[in-house]
Structure 1
Amino acid sequence: MEKLNQGLADIALLQNDIVGNEGVRAVAKLYSEVLHVIAREKNLKTSFSRAIKVFKIN
């Protein structure tokens, strides 16, 4: 998205949850995204909260 906003790219493949800006429009939805969260029941809240804080996808 940064490259599109800077005028350094004409088209990009992005995840479904990326918010567009003025002048940037979706061309086509290629697929639906599915997220599976798997954790032991006793650790579900802790594991999920930690995963959100630890993992960053660029």
Structure 2
Amino acid sequence: MKNFTKEKRMEINQKSFPSQIEGPLENYENQRKEGKTPIFKGSSIGLNEEELDYWK
């Protein structure tokens, strides 16, 4: 998806992903642009960390 415009990526994301992960996904993309190494946490999309093996 890196060759798509931001608008096209958002359009694809809205069709492909539940709305609860749009914010965290945009946050992730912004951090990558800033040169940071973002870490995904399941709690950012409403997953119960006690039920996860990964993404805690």
User: Which TM-score applies when normalising by structure 2?
Assistant: 0.27
Instruction: From the two aligned structures, give the one with the greater helix fraction.
Output: 2
Is the radius of gyration larger for structure 1 or structure 2? 1
User: Which TM-score applies when normalising by structure 1?
Assistant: 0.26
